[in-house]
Chain A
Amino acid sequence: MRAKKTEDQSNLAGGMSYEQVKDRTSSSVGTEEDGGVLFDETIAAYSMRRKTALEFLVAAVAESHSKAFRPYLQRPQWTTINADASATDSYQLAVTAELDEPLRVRLSPSPDYITSRSSYWDGSNAEQVMRRNLEFLHRALGTAVFRRVLREALEKLQDLLWGDVLMRQSFTTLGAAQFLRDLHAVSGLVERYVPDGSGALAALLDGAKLLNLPVESPDGAAVPSLKQASDRIFTDNAEAKRVLEELDIDTLTPANARQILQRRVENSE
Chain B
Amino acid sequence: MTTFSPANFPLGETDARLEDYLDDKLQSPMDLENLDSLVASVETQRSQLQAQLDDVARELDEARRAALARHGGLMGQIDDFHALQRSIDVRLRIVADSDAPDEAIRRLDRPMKQLHKVDLAHRYLLLLHDADALRADARSHLPQSPRDALRSYTTLKRLAARLRELQGPADEAAAHLVNHVAGIAESLWAEMKKTMWDEFDALLARRRWPNVEPQLEVDDEWREGFEKLVDLQAPEILYSPEVVPLLPVDVMAQIFVKEFRYHFLSEKRTSDPQQIGDVCFPWFLDRVEKWEDFFKDNFSYVLASRFGDTEVSGKMVYMDPLCAFITSLLPVMREKVNATAAEALKNPSFLSSFMAQLMKFDEDLRSRFSYDGGDTEKGWGGLASEVLHQHFDAWLKAEKDFALDRFEGIMSSQDARSIDYDYGGPGKTKPTFGAVRVTDLLRSVTAQYERVRRFSHKLRFLIDIQLAILDEFHDRLRGSLEAYYSINSMVGRTLHGVTKEQQAALEGTGAFETLCKVFGSSDHVVSTLKDWSNEEVGPL
Chain A residues at the B interface, C-beta cutoff of 8 Å: 1-4, 6-7, 11-14, 16, 21, 24-25, 37-39, 42-43, 45-47, 49-50, 52-54, 56-57, 60-61, 64, 113-114, 117, 121, 132-133, 136-137, 139-143, 145
Contact = CB atoms under 8 A, between A and B. Distances in A.
Contacts of A13: 456-457, 459-460, 463
5 contacts: A38-B538, A42-B470, A43-B526, A114-B513, A145-B429
Contacts of A7: 454-456
Contact of B512 (A14, A43, A57): A57
Interface string B521-533: 0110110011011
B481 interface: yes
B510 A114 contact: yes
A174 to B, nearest CB: 34
Nearest to A135: B509
Contacts of A133: 509, 512
Given A46-B525, A142-B428, A39 B512 contact: no
Contacts of B512: 57, 60-61, 64, 133, 136-137, 140
A113 B519 contact: no
B533 A39 contact: yes
Q: Which of A11, A12, A14, A113 has the most CB of B within 10 A?
A: A14
Nearest to B454: A7
Given A56-B485, A136-B509, A139-B430, A42 B520 contact: no
B72 interface: no
B460 A14 contact: yes
A246 B460 CA distance: 70
B515 A56 contact: yes
Nearest to A20: B463
B456 A142 contact: no
Contacts of A14: 392, 456-457, 460
Interface string B461-489: 01100010011001001100100110010
A141 B478 contact: no
B536 interface: yes
**Secondary structure at chain A's binding surface: helix, strand, loop or mixed?**
helix
B417 to A, nearest CB: 14
B525 A140 contact: no
B262 interface: no
Interface string B408-441: 0000000000010100000111100000000000
A114 to B, nearest CB: 5
Given A46-B525, A52-B481, A117-B508, A140 B516 contact: yes
A77 B533 CA distance: 60
Given A12-B456, A61-B512, A121-B508, A50 B540 contact: no
Contacts of A141: 429-430, 516, 519-520
Contact of A43 (B508, B520, B529): B529
Contacts of A12: 455-456, 459
Contacts of B467: 24-25, 42
Given A42-B470, A141-B430, A53 B463 contact: no
A-B residue pairs, 5 tightest by C-beta: A37-B533, A142-B429, A50-B522, A53-B519, A13-B459
Interface string B485-525: 10010000000000000001001111111011011101101
B539 interface: yes
B474 A49 contact: yes
Contacts of B392: 14
Given A25-B467, A43-B533, 11 more contacts: A1-B458, A37-B530, A42-B470, A42-B529, A43-B526, A46-B529, A52-B518, A140-B512, A142-B427, A142-B429, A143-B428
A42 B507 contact: no
Contact of A42 (B428, B474, B508): B474
B463 A25 contact: yes
A3 B516 contact: no
Contacts of B457: 13-14
Nearest to B524: A46
Contact of B421 (A21, A61, A139): A139
A75 to B, nearest CB: 23
Interface string B208-237: 000000000000000000000000000000
A49 B481 contact: yes
Nearest to A50: B522
Q: Which of B526, B530, B532 has the most CB of A within 10 A?
A: B526
Given A24-B463, A49-B477, A50-B522, A38 B513 contact: no
A155 B312 CA distance: 74
Contacts of B427: 142-143
A142 B523 CA distance: 10
B526 A47 contact: yes
B207 to A, nearest CB: 47
Nearest to B468: A24
Given A42-B470, A53-B522, A137 B455 contact: no
A46 B515 contact: no
A2 B460 CA distance: 14
Contacts of A39: 470, 529-530, 532-533, 538
B522 to A, nearest CB: 4
B429 A38 contact: no
A46 B474 contact: yes
Contacts of B456: 7, 11-14
A7 B458 CA distance: 13
